[in-house]
Structure 1
Amino acid sequence: MNVKKVKLADIDPRIDGRIRPVDESHAEIIAQAFEEHGQETAIVVRYGSGAEGAPKYILVSGAHRLRAAEIAKWDSIDASITKLNADEARLQEIDENLIRQELDVLSRARCLYERKELYLKLHPETKLGVNQHSGIATVANPAPRFALDAAARMGVSERTVHAYVSLYKNLQPETVKILQKTTLADDRQELIYIGSIAEPVLQVSTVKEAIFKGKKPSELKEEPVRLSGDALWLSLGKKEASRVMKMEVPARRVFLDELAKAGVIRPEQIVEAA
């Protein structure tokens, strides 16, 4: 990759979708280092779409350095220009983050979940079940399986990789947003518990209530509650009501409260179980 001066105005930072959000305090430290010693490591960018009005370059790695250059009021920055496409660039960003020790459990799980999707897209021949009848041409030197490749890069077992992917797969997108930058994001057991709540709305509501009360989701231990049978069946239907009654107590409590807030049922219809 060639290194050249690139104007900051020509770079799309793609901040919102990045694996590791920019920490302003860290960027300020880098900005001070820039002013004292200059830039030692180039950022990495790829070419934009070339469409009219589109950014000339898109950031691949170096978000903190790019932000530091803005803080230092530079108008340009040293950048290596890669020919990677969008998927390859995203995979590189993920791999750079996976080797960082400061990633919390949630961020690492997200990285591996997204990496698996990208890896299988770029290397379909490694997908489980693909064979000579799949329509995919035989590859002379096929890439290693996703879990094997990821495990080797991280220095962990394939089992650990699968566990991270499974953990993230069970979390709702809204749940992930709420959990980011909380202590729960680095609590593996609580993340597994949250993922065990299969009802999407209930999962999100449980996490919100736990954070509001300053508790862990698994600590929402309340007295068993239920709707009186007739009221529950009338409001939700027999099949749905039966499913609600099979939920764990904390989850059921949160779900019924949400139904009350939404006006589906009345608070006074919720009665303690005998």
Structure 2
Amino acid sequence: MSFIAIDRVSIQPNRRPLNDQKVAELMQSIKANGLLNPITLDQNFNLVAGLHRLTACKLLGLEQIEYRIIAYQDVDHARLAEIDENLIRNELEALERAELWLERDQILERIGLRAQSGENQYTKKGGESISPPPKTTVQLAQEAGYNKRTYQLGKQIAKNIDPEVKEVIKKTPIAKSHSTLLKIARAGSKEREQAEQAEQKAQEAKHQQKQEEMETQAKLAAEARTKLKEKQLIALQSSTAQKQAKQSIRSARTQVEKKINTTPILPGAELGDEWILGRHLIYCGDTAEDKFIGLLPSNAALAIATLSFEWNHDYLIDEAHIVAVLAREGHIQDFCARHRMPFRFEWVLGELYVGIYSQDPILKPEKPVGIEGVEGIVAYLISLYTKHDNFILTPSLGHAEVLIACERMGRICFAGDKATENVDRAIARWQKWTGQEAKKEKHCYT
């Protein structure tokens, strides 16, 4: 049994990130039972395996830790052992695992133990020393416990996702989803190809000592990489929004609506009324008129209009960063003829046309999958373009889809409708959903 002072252990900078929960669990275990498994070091006291155990002991105030030494011929072999240790423990998220697969592949290639495509691993000539034959992709996949295709796609994820995008993904649910990570990795494939071509030309110009050409190609490569990162970020945001929207709809369908002890107010809305519903406001009246516009906050993140009325609402583009218009067949032509808002992109989701408008350029995400119906699309748009406590505007209530989604997702809704029956229905639905009473007020938010 060998012990070493904790402060003598060297930790290399490319370690996988710590899992705080795992460290806390290890601290409890070490307190109760002591350290059951020693950490692994190389001959230079560099940590090979056991970062969580080492951290737990350090946080417990221990000065020494039990260790075992495995001698490696160089840094690459030591790192391979560390990677294998992490892969064997099988506590990795999909993104972490993919990064380790790629790094392991690169190290094996560097030390001559990675078979190249089309190469016979058993007839390749080596040096005088005897070494194992290079490993094929199939062998590496089998060692990892996966098939060849999954292994190759995993390396594609690790190689193609921008480093900054990876940092955003880490410690989120997306990091666990192989299929979503692959979708993000494939976003911006055109820009990736442009960047790689420009980078290759820049290297050629450097070797030929063509300074101006090298700088031009380097600039083109940097621009393409920036666009690639932007497209991958919007793919990440869209995937996250789809996940949140589906969860929101599922929770809405399973939630038992609350009952209030007293009889809820029967709205009986009249034109000109302003109703306060918790943090939300509903105006009963023409939402194209100045009175409603004067009630709106000037910094709304999103406006969602479900078309069932004559369009006179271009003002929304000045009140919200993004305007989303949902229309069914029969309303699209009139809307397109009337509006003058800056168009960005459109989708057709099921039976609904969705148009996105903004003063600022917006990248178009891939068409969302499995998101249909007004409630699903509203939840997706809110997840994609807003954050908690953001303002959302809607100039028509419909069946209160936007209002209820805002209540459910922690946003603040400013809504209006000149049809009193729509206002009554929205208030009644909100009261039933929340178990709270709406309050009728006048001259609020002025």
Structures share a fold, TM > 0.5? yes
**Which residue of 8, 16, 22 maps to 2:18?**
22
CA distance in 2, matches of 1:128, 1:142: 18
23 and 44 in structure 1: CA distance in 2 versus 1, 3 angstrom threshold: same
Relative to its length, the structure with more helix (as a share) is 1
140 and 177 in structure 1: CA distance in 2 versus 1, 3 angstrom threshold: same
How far residue 185 of structure 1 moved from its aligned partner, in angstroms, is 1.4
TM-score (norm 2): 0.43
Q: Aligned runs of 1:158-197 on 2, under 5 Å?
A: 158-196=148-186, 197=188
Secondary structure of the corresponding residue to residue 44 of structure 1:
strand
1:38 — aligned with what?
34
How far residue 154 of structure 1 moved from its aligned partner, in angstroms, is 2.4
1:224 — aligned with what?
345
Matched, 1:215 2:241: yes
Whether the 8 Å contact between 2:185 and 2:232 is mirrored in structure 1 is no
Whether the 8 Å contact between 2:42 and 2:69 is mirrored in structure 1 is yes
CA distance in 1, matches of 2:234, 2:142: 39
CA distance in 2, matches of 1:100, 1:133: 34
**Which residue of 82, 91, 100 maps to 2:70?**
82
- Select the structure of larger CA radius of gyration: 2
2:8 — aligned with what?
10
CA distance in 2, matches of 1:13, 1:24: 17
Task: String of CA shifts for 1:234-269, please: whole Å, max 9, x gaps.
Answer: xxxxxxxxxxxxxx8438xxxxxxxxxxxxxxxxxx
Secondary structure of the corresponding residue to residue 77 of structure 1:
strand
**Which residue of 211, 228, 233 maps to 1:203?**
228
Matched, 1:105 2:113: no
Q: Aligned runs of 1:54-65 on 2, under 5 Å?
A: 57-65=45-53
How far residue 193 of structure 1 moved from its aligned partner, in angstroms, is 2.2
1:229 — aligned with what?
none
CA distance in 2, matches of 1:158, 1:122: 22
How far residue 124 of structure 1 moved from its aligned partner, in angstroms, is 4.2
CA RMSD in angstroms comes to: 3.3
CA distance in 1, matches of 2:180, 2:124: 40
Secondary structure of the corresponding residue to residue 142 of structure 1:
coil
TM-score (norm 1): 0.66
Q: Match for 2:241: what amino acid?
A: K
2:414 — aligned with what?
none
1:236 — aligned with what?
none
Whether the 8 Å contact between 1:120 and 1:146 is mirrored in structure 2 is no
189 and 36 in structure 1: CA distance in 2 versus 1, 3 angstrom threshold: closer
How far residue 28 of structure 1 moved from its aligned partner, in angstroms, is 2.4
CA distance in 1, matches of 2:92, 2:100: 10
Aligned length: 215
How far residue 77 of structure 1 moved from its aligned partner, in angstroms, is 0.4
Q: Match for 2:137: what amino acid?
A: A
Whether the 8 Å contact between 1:7 and 1:77 is mirrored in structure 2 is yes
How far residue 70 of structure 1 moved from its aligned partner, in angstroms, is 0.5
